Structure 1
């Protein structure tokens, strides 16, 4: 069966040059994913220049809470990419799928604004923010929410374009968004030019304005390359909602774990909270670097499974995992060598002492931890969302129990939290690997 469509499959470059094809597709994804969290890194670097650790701690709480609100809706981009990739391989039409997902994203964005604004103080408190930190975090989240519809629409556009293996356009969008954000950060945070000094609020407003510009441009590109329509009948709303249900639970558990870690760190003091924010920000930056292979693998797996070829889908898994481990080793080395620079750039002077050990632990976890990101993308491409949901629930519940046992009065709270985070990552990697090798359960990617 895997070779029945060999002549047709030979049209795809991956069959002849798997490594070269993966790298060629992954490089634009890599740079676009690196560009995306530069918004958070730029915000942190600018805010760290303000007086005291409170603004950085508030930024950490606000960005975690904001990211949490949007990660819940990650299914819009992930589900769209998988369906579009399947259509690309099987000759289907992706116009209705992309159009429906875009409209759902826009509506959910405005609902999110209306539902979240009255709850900002409660949200900040849940993440351990009190006093000045709470006030600053609430202002940050209020301004970031203005960009909610744009962020969700951008997720759909990125997914649709990557589904047709256009990895270049998302890169251009990410670079443009970050360039605008960086300029507006400098203007609004410090009050340069005719604008007043807004501090943390300025960072949030800069992000929202840049996101709206990026979303409008992406819609124009998607309309040209894939197409958009108001006729949604037959677009697969049931499939999208099923994916959404599984990913909603998975993302909710993930966010609860990170939210608990943030709360425990901030509960130990502003210095611990600031150190945790700096490590978390760069950890996400590094994780997204590793995600380049996962996202590329998702599109390739979906493409080959859309053509009914499990042989090459499995081959994609092999190549993606190999490259992920090698890249994880490179990231580990870069983090260890760059520890002092990152501490200078992102960490207030009073928090440097608690930053170092936790940073080193996070760096050393990268080689094996890279497989958690790689296998997530591979299983997304195969549509194995329910398995990923269950794996995340089991890993997170175990690690949440351990976090609850951390002594909040210890001077090493951030270090202990990152040790638990490493365990959480390795558990997820293990679940992802055994689903492919040897292929436990009804595994779409087990070798045919």
Structure 2
């Protein structure tokens, strides 16, 4: 899963590189803005992957194949419904984007074209989240990795054909992504149906009560994701008050945060699958075994990241940008990134615990507690520190998440089985 996490953004860089070499910068700006809007929607919809992983992992542990089949069908229904909703809400989405972002008529036209095309891939993209959730819950991580790589390879090949070969610029980039999403969704559904021994025309019927339970899980995780994204957005929004160089430096350093999440999310995915399986088996001993073992590996990876940033942080900054003032500014705030893996890995790990055990309400509550009693007070009290205050607030937020999650795990007896 760590390899698949790394493969997605690394191969996706080719998309930007091809558009970035077109003669006019407006094409790159349009794709960047459009991709930002689309990715924000899909990022909020990640609850489809999380909730599916938890319930499938527990059914997998209980060796209940019919339940796994139903969870897959329920997830698909949610994905397709939300995908169609995205298509219907296109005018509202475009209106909201241009209320938040300014751009001339030419840029707006190209960006609107990109988003309008990309939204045709929404049902497929959300289906891919459900497929990934099933594969993770069943511990088929190699299949999940193959699908992630397939999506990006199709996208890259079509970028070359449509953008360079046919000169379709922004529209070409959009259609390449849409095609990759549908190809991957079809391949993913085929893999899952074969794994679950689901014959064509003999899929299980949806159960309303189980759909309601899945909706409740999704609702809690959605609230959690919105709060997380709002806190992260403040890192960019308020940095703008401290000048363009600070904004650029934070943008560079946020790439470090992406690197952290790539590795630690891989551990979290394993935690989801293994703890969910143990719960499905009703094995308290296995539950505790996997809890401590995955926590150990999370801490090891966090330490490796901190050492990597300590010794090579400035070199990594130099690879991302060659602007002297941005390099100098980013270096000033680098110590926060050196400490952050050790401070943040707890929250990534505990997210995996909550998802594997399907404790979405506690996941939501811990996020709200961390934002209300960690991030916001820390940011408010350290505004005089300017950008250092923002990074301090983010660090406090991550620590607060871990503490709140650990407290709720103990308080609600999540590692106890009946």
TM-score of the two chains, using structure 2 as the length reference:
0.84
- Offset, 1:142: 4.2
- Offset, 1:32: 1.4
Please list, as runs of the form range in 1=range in 2, the aligned pairs for 1:223-234 lying within 5 A after superposition. 223-228=193-198, 229=203, 231-233=205-207
- Larger deviation: 341-350 or 206-215? 341-350
Counterpart-to-counterpart distance in 2, 1:36 and 1:303? 27
Query: 3-state DSSP class of the match of 2:260?
Result: helix
Counterpart-to-counterpart distance in 2, 1:52 and 1:109? 32
Instruction: Label 1:166 to 1:238 Cα distance change in 2 as closer, same or farther (>3 A).
Output: same
Aligned to 1:299: 273
Aligned to 1:330: 304
- Larger deviation: 357-366 or 240-249? 357-366
Match status 1:123 vs 2:93: no
Alpha-carbon contact 2:29-2:107 (below 8 Å) kept? no
Aligned to 2:375: 399
Aligned to 1:182: 156
Match status 1:287 vs 2:257: no
Instruction: Label 1:281 to 1:134 Cα distance change in 2 as closer, same or farther (>3 A).
Output: farther
Instruction: Label 1:224 to 1:104 Cα distance change in 2 as closer, same or farther (>3 A).
Output: same
Counterpart-to-counterpart distance in 2, 1:363 and 1:124? 36
Counterpart-to-counterpart distance in 2, 1:331 and 1:67? 26
Residue by residue over 1:77-119, the C-alpha shift from the partner in whole angstroms, topping out at 9 and shown as x without a partner, is: 2111111111111232211110121122022112113214433
Counterpart-to-counterpart distance in 2, 1:230 and 1:96? 6
Alpha-carbon contact 2:5-2:266 (below 8 Å) kept? yes
Match status 1:386 vs 2:361: yes
- Offset, 1:337: 4.3
- Larger deviation: 264-273 or 164-173? 264-273
Instruction: Label 1:208 to 1:384 Cα distance change in 2 as closer, same or farther (>3 A).
Output: same
The Cα RMSD (Å) is 3.4
Aligned to 1:420: 393
Match status 1:72 vs 2:47: no
TM-score of the two chains, using structure 1 as the length reference:
0.79
Counterpart-to-counterpart distance in 2, 1:181 and 1:134? 23
- Offset, 1:391: 0.8
Instruction: Label 1:181 to 1:264 Cα distance change in 2 as closer, same or farther (>3 A).
Output: farther
Counterpart-to-counterpart distance in 2, 1:416 and 1:348? 26
Instruction: Label 1:38 to 1:422 Cα distance change in 2 as closer, same or farther (>3 A).
Output: farther
- Offset, 1:335: 3.4
Aligned to 1:34: 6
- Offset, 1:223: 1.1
Query: 3-state DSSP class of the match of 1:146?
Result: helix
- Offset, 1:46: 5.6
Counterpart-to-counterpart distance in 1, 2:216 and 2:160? 42
- Larger deviation: 300-309 or 226-235? 226-235
Alpha-carbon contact 1:250-1:388 (below 8 Å) kept? yes
Aligned to 1:90: 62
Instruction: Label 1:300 to 1:48 Cα distance change in 2 as closer, same or farther (>3 A).
Output: same
Counterpart-to-counterpart distance in 2, 1:137 and 1:356? 34
Please list, as runs of the form range in 1=range in 2, the aligned pairs for 1:228-247 lying within 5 A after superposition. 228=198, 229=203, 231-233=205-207, 236-247=210-221
Gaps of 5+ in 1: 1-28
Alpha-carbon contact 2:379-2:392 (below 8 Å) kept? no
Instruction: Label 1:258 to 1:180 Cα distance change in 2 as closer, same or farther (>3 A).
Output: same
Match status 1:430 vs 2:406: no
Counterpart-to-counterpart distance in 1, 2:34 and 2:211? 32
Aligned to 2:127: 153
Counterpart-to-counterpart distance in 2, 1:165 and 1:338? 34
Alpha-carbon contact 1:62-1:124 (below 8 Å) kept? no
- Larger deviation: 315-324 or 36-45? 36-45
- Offset, 1:374: 0.8
Alpha-carbon contact 1:143-1:205 (below 8 Å) kept? yes
Counterpart-to-counterpart distance in 1, 2:370 and 2:130? 28
Aligned to 1:221: 191
- Offset, 1:354: 3.2
Alpha-carbon contact 1:75-1:244 (below 8 Å) kept? yes
Instruction: Label 1:392 to 1:203 Cα distance change in 2 as closer, same or farther (>3 A).
Output: farther
Number of paired residues? 408
Gaps of 5+ in 2: none
Please list, as runs of the form range in 1=range in 2, the aligned pairs for 1:45-60 lying within 5 A after superposition. none
Instruction: Label 1:45 to 1:194 Cα distance change in 2 as closer, same or farther (>3 A).
Output: closer
Please list, as runs of the form range in 1=range in 2, the aligned pairs for 1:303-318 lying within 5 A after superposition. 303-318=277-292
Higher fraction of helix: 2
